[in-house]
Structure 1
Amino acid sequence: MTMYEEGIKLVDETFGNGKDNIISLGTIARENSSDGKPRPVVRSVDAYYEEGVFYVVTHGKSNKMLQISENPEVSVSGCMEMFTASGIGENLGWVLSPQNAEIRNKLRTSFAEWYDMANNEQDENCCILAIHLTKGTLNVNHWEKLYHLDFINKTTMTNGGIF
């Protein structure tokens, strides 16, 4: 098993298998800071993970979605798992759109305890955010082993990753 395969297996075990994950999601604000520089924004979201993508049910007019529409580059971190990654955010559209049926069912199952209370599927702005991971670092046992993962090329990065 390659280092990449080993790292992906650990990411899958940590976040996959239908788990409801709390992750931090970082975006870039639509307005710059007072000195004219881009301003990062971070928040915690519930996410479902599968094959290099985190999925989040959200509102299409939320700040995060408006920010992603202007700049789809995002960052995520596993709140308790020492995993940090960069990715591309994509609005998959209304949760009830036919093309979202399969992932919607997975999200409803994963988030079953609170899904209906938190989401109004009749609102066409109730959408699915897909966060396609591009590169990341999984830190096992506080620096015992690092996996620098290139999700695009499906390999490890020799020059380090995301810290």
Structure 2
Amino acid sequence: MSKYDDAIKLMEERCGNGKEVVIALATISLSANAAGNPRPAARMVCAYYEDGVFYVSTDATKNKSLQIEKNNEVSVCGLDWFASQGIAENLGWVKDEKNAEILAMFKKVFGWFEYVGDEDNPNSIVMRITLTEGTIIDNEKKYGEQKYEIDFINKVVK
């Protein structure tokens, strides 16, 4: 197995396998700071992870969605010792036929979704965050390494 395979295995163990994870999602705010520079905006979101992608249920009218519409580069991190950059994409209404598998996963993974997912609201959307690069820390050195610098696009560990 390669170091990349080991890193992906760690991500799957920690975040995947059909479970809900809480991650911090950072975007660029639509309002600048006093000096006119862009400001970060971070919030905790519930997500599920599969094959290098986090899926998030949200509302198209929320700040995070509007910020991603303007600049889709995001950062995510979790208490499972990972931090990554990625590209976020609005996949549209959760009940759109093309999102049927994701909606089914939301209902399976998120125990709360049936009650507060607001799936009949056309602004209830699927946000896909495709990871591009990141770091995973494994203090136990389960697969031999303590730190993995991952390039998700080229599928290598630096």
Alignment TM-score, normalising by the size of structure 2 = 0.95
Equivalence for 1:134: 132
Equivalence for 1:109: 108
- 5+ residue gaps in structure 2? none
2:154 is paired with a residue whose SS is coil
C-alpha separation between the residues in 2 aligned to 1:107 and 1:54?
12
C-alpha separation between the residues in 2 aligned to 1:37 and 1:128?
29
- Moved beyond 4 Å, runs of 4+: none
1:147 deviates by 0.7
C-alpha separation between the residues in 1 aligned to 2:89 and 2:28?
15
- Aligned CA distance change for structure 1 residues 152 and 116 (closer, same or farther; 3 Å): same
Of all paired residues, the percent bearing the same amino acid is: 46
Q: Which amino acid aligns with 1:120?
A: D
1:88-119: CA deviation from partner (whole Å, max 9, x where unpaired): 000000000000001111111000x2112221
2:133 is paired with a residue whose SS is strand
**Where do 1:3-152 residues align within 5 Å?**
3-78=3-78, 80-111=79-110, 113-141=111-139, 145-152=146-153
Q: Which amino acid aligns with 1:151?
A: F
Q: Which amino acid aligns with 2:91?
A: L
Q: Which amino acid aligns with 1:122?
A: D
1:17 deviates by 0.5
- Length, aligned pairs only: 155
Q: Which amino acid aligns with 1:141?
A: N
C-alpha separation between the residues in 2 aligned to 1:17 and 1:124?
28
- 5+ residue gaps in structure 1? 158-163
C-alpha separation between the residues in 2 aligned to 1:32 and 1:121?
33
1:135 is paired with a residue whose SS is strand
C-alpha separation between the residues in 2 aligned to 1:34 and 1:142?
44
**What value does the CA root-mean-square deviation take over the aligned residues?**
1.2
2:17 is paired with a residue whose SS is coil
Equivalence for 1:161: none
1:152 is paired with a residue whose SS is coil
C-alpha separation between the residues in 2 aligned to 1:44 and 1:154?
27
C-alpha separation between the residues in 2 aligned to 1:140 and 1:117?
36
C-alpha separation between the residues in 1 aligned to 2:128 and 2:43?
16
